[in-house]
Amino acid sequence: MVMTQVPLKDQLYNRDSVRSLASRLQSVYPQLRVDMFVEEVTGRFGELRLKERITWIAEVLERHLPNQYRDAVEVLLRSLPDPADPTLSDGDFGDFTYAPYGEFIARGGTALEDVEFSLSALKEITTRFSAEFAIRSYLLAHPEATMKALLEWASDPHYHVRRLASEGTRPRLPWASRLPMPVSAGIPILDRLFADPTRYVTRSVANHLNDIAKSDPDMVVSTLQRWQASGQQRASEMTYITRQAARTLIKTGHGPALELIGIPTGPQVAVTGITVPPIVELGGSAEISVSVCASERVDCIISYAIVFAGPRGLPSGRKVYTLKRLTIPAGASVTLTKRHTFRAGMTTRPIHPGQHRIEILTNGVPQESRTFEITSPPAGRIK
């Protein structure tokens, strides 16, 4: 028997979840016709992906709530559950049920006379579900007013609001459009947030800096050096922020970034052996084994990069994976192993049959490589 996994879009948005949302709205807006709303929303679910379902629900809300934008938003706000516990030290996006609320405000509230009202509404909503995508509509339409609000929110008592100040201004926020502002625009916000006591916030700060690293490495290094020297964040959390923020630079062997985490630049160690299966079936996995040695005691990061084959067999993309950070004693040899799975049907990085190459990196510097073949599974068999 073949087990099928329920797609995330169907786990989050289905007839039951839509009815639950409609019932909550009806409790504060009795005019809402629950059955009609549910049928209209779910009628198109079969053709829509996750983000498209969020947008579609927002569109249907526009037809079922009061015609006046502010009156409709007041209904949305009154229907919200209690905010996430502000005393927690970490959190997540919140309840996806309320993602269409932010989309509703992004679609209908960017007129100049509504900006202050809309930003206040997003501040409320983000304590139930992150408004990181919705806020970008306001950064595009009214950058000065929105940045001023976000700078103030960086000191808000609720950690979800503080996190939004960083996450909403990320230069390369996943699934979001780019912002037409310099990557340095968010630094004043991050300067207020790097010493935050909440991991949910500092994780966003680190990810924000990692976005910047892809276009301005020097800015990231100088910012981290400044934060380290300030002593405002406890040492263990500053170490976490630094490693996360500089992770892209570290993988590429960026010398100043490596120095930030106490790793010397250059290879420092020698690769003495690589083992990878010559043939790997798509959907299966390969055990990768790497042996390294050092003539002197050294701290190092051992990584491997996979150069993927494209649909026509030519090289198409490269991704670096960290094996381990370790200390190798003088004259010692160490062997590391890792099982890497080549999943079929991935949308972010499709795996194609053909010749792939694995490269071994020490402190970000490529040393040795091997090629291997990925083959298609026999017809009719699904992994």
pLDDT of residue 218: 97
* Confidence tier at 1 by pLDDT (50, 70, 90): very low
Residue with more model confidence, 72 or 269: 72
pLDDT at 268 (0 to 100): 77
Parallel, antiparallel, or unpaired: how do β-strands 298-309 and 315-328 relate? antiparallel
Please give the pLDDT value at position 6.
Answer: 85
Q: Give the pLDDT confidence score for residue 88 in this predicted structure.
A: 77
Give tens-digit pLDDT for 10-51: 999 999 999 999 999 999 999 999 999 999 999 999 999 999
pLDDT exceeds 90 at position 93: no
Decide: 320 and 303 in contact? Cβ < 8 Å.
yes
Token pair 């409709």 is found at 72
Taking each helix axis from N to C end, the angle separating 115-125 and 99-108, rounded to the nearest 10 degrees, works out to 170
Q: Which architecture does CATH list for 66-260?
A: Alpha Horseshoe (1.25)
Tell me the pLDDT of the chain averaged across its residues: 93
The two three-digit tokens of residue 377, written as one number:
């599974």
| Phi, psi values for residue 5, rounded to 5° | -90, 135
Q: Break the chain into its structural domains and give their ranges.
A: 66-260, 270-375
Q: Which of 241, 105, 102 is nearest to 166 (CA)?
A: 241
Q: What is the pTM of this model?
A: 0.87
Distances (CA, A) of 33 to 37, 39, 65, 368: 6, 10, 10, 65
Query: Do the beta carbons of residue 110 and residue 66 sit within 8 Å?
Result: no
The pLDDT assigned to 3 comes to: 47
pLDDT of 300-337, one tens digit each? 999 999 999 988 877 788 999 999 999 999 999 999 99
- Compute the average pLDDT of residues 84-106: 86
Could you read off the pLDDT of 207-250 as tens digits, one per residue? Answer: 999 999 999 999 999 999 999 999 999 999 999 999 999 999 99
Largest Cα span, the chain:
78
Name the token pair of 237. 């959390």
Checking if the pLDDT of 202 tops 90, the result is yes
pLDDT interval class at 173 (50, 70, 90): very high
**Taking Cα atoms as reference points, which of 370, 371, 345, 374 lies closest to residue 280?**
374
Please provide residue 381's backbone torsions phi and psi, each rounded to the nearest 5 degrees. Answer: -105, 125
- 3-state per-residue secondary structure call for the chain: CCCCCCCHHHHHCCHHHHHHHHHHHHHHCCCCCHHHHHHHHHCCHHHCCHHHHHHHHHHHHHHHCCCCHHHHHHHHHHCCCCCCCCCCCCCCCECHHHHHHHHHHHHHCCCHHHHHHHHHHHHHHCCCECCCCHHHHHHHHCHHHHHHHHHHHCCCCCHHHHHHHHHCCCCCCCCCCCCCCCHHHHHHHHHHHCCCCCHHHHHHHHHHHHHHHCCCHHHHHHHHHHHHHHCCCCHHHHHHHHHHHCHHHHHCCCHHHHHHCCCCCCCCCEEEEEECCCEEECCCEEEEEEEEECCCCEEEEEEEEEEEECCCCCEEEEEEEEEEEEEECCCCEEEEEEEEECCCCCCCCCCCCEEEEEEEEECCEEEEEEEEEEECCCCCCCC
Parallel/antiparallel/unpaired status of strands 279-281 and 365-375: parallel
Is residue 188 over pLDDT 50? yes
For range 82-106, the mean pLDDT: 87
Which is nearest to 131 in space by CA: 66, 187, 77, 202?
77
Share of the chain above pLDDT 90, in %: 82
What's the topology of domain 270-375? Immunoglobulin-like (2.60.40)
The closest of 231, 230, 159 to 200, measured between CA atoms, is 159
